Amino acid sequence: MIYTITPNPAIDRIVYLEGDLTPEKNNITKEKYVDLGGKPTHVSAILEQLGDTPNKATGFSGELNKAELVSIFEKYRMNHEFINIPDQRTRESIIVINNSGGSYMITERGLMVSDSDKSKLYSYITENIHSEDIAVVGKPAQGFSVEDFRYLIRLLKEQNAYVACDVAGEYLGVALEEEIDFIKPNKHEINDLLPGDEPIHRKFNRICEKVPNAVCSLGSEGALYKVENTFYQAVPPKVEVQSDTGAGDAFVTGYIYGVANGYDISDRVKWGILCSASKVQHYSSCQINKEDFGFIENNLKIHEVI
């Protein structure tokens, strides 16, 4: 079973404007819709679209607006079991998209979890997640310190689960120190963690010393990975991009799908590229279309990086 653990999910309100956002003006909307926010939930939504991959989304959710979050989960047919936080609301993010391109994101800090909420999550993990299971962990909510995050990772490892994280900053540092099974920083996240002028694949190599099967994603330039002592870059073909929000989560989904199916690292990366280069062709942060895969696979280029 693949468990996605989202400590701070979000309800995203995407607003497209007729013009560009201007102060002291009545900014008229062209279109608006509601989408899922909080990275690991995207992984569950995309796994459902891939099919044949048992998975469950868990984490914390606010009791006061639970019905709306659940309605979004159900739109993606997700299997979900979140721990209720009483008297709180799951955060909402407002994403304003200008007619001429470019966007603004306004978000809330989200749930504030107590020691008793954290204990419930830890119990859920010890009761449900075991060896053979895969856990995809997201960035913590308020009240969940970096050391709590370390504890969560250690607990998952004690349960013998395969642990994957897509986190940045100090959380990425902890994921490396704890030598988890998979991380996918993008190149900006690696540059923030390891400043300096070294080429990105040299910095990435320092990441691989801790997590040998890590991947560094490079946006439209694809992804960097290491097999034995050689670095490779897998580059997707040029596609028509509608939105790159959630591209990283789609990559993680494809990779984890490969782990669950026993694929080697090259095929895991290929599935990461298939899912993510499909995702960018759709507006929603967790929408793919398997019909996009043929073109991507036939035009995917892989070269060595020296």
Please give the residue ranges that form the binding site for Mg ion (CB under 5 A).
219, 248
Minimum distance between the CB of residue 257 and Mg ion, rounded to whole angstroms?
A: 17
Compare residues 138 and 248 and give the one whose CB is closer to Mg ion.
248
* DSSP-assigned beta bridge partners for residue 60: 83
Rounded CA-CA distance 12/109 in Å is: 13
**Taking Cα atoms as reference points, which of 162, 145, 147 lies closest to residue 257?**
162
Q: Which of 95, 183, 273, 286 binds ligand ATP (CB under 6 A)?
A: 273
Positive/negative CA dihedral, 217, 220, 226, 227:
positive
Min CB(19)–Mg ion separation in Å: 26
Lay out the site mask for ligand ATP across 276-295 (x = CB under 6 A, - = otherwise). Answer: xx--x---------------
Torsion from C-alpha of 169, 172, 177, 179, nearest 10 degrees = -170
Cα angle at 111 between 108 and 115, to 5 degrees? 150
Per-residue binding string, ligand ATP, 152-191, x by CB under 6 A, is ----------------------------------x-----
Contact between 4 and ligand ATP per CB under 6 A: no
Contact between 239 and ligand ATP (CB under 6 A)?
yes
Sheet containing 230-235: give its strands across: 216-217, 223-227, 230-235, 301-305
Three-class secondary structure of residue 35 per DSSP: strand
Per rule CB under 6 A, is residue 247 in the interface with ligand ATP? yes
103 forms part of the interface with ligand ATP (CB under 6 A):
no
Residues interacting with ligand ATP, by CB under 6 A?
Answer: 186, 217-220, 222-223, 236, 239, 241, 244, 246-249, 251, 273, 276-277, 280
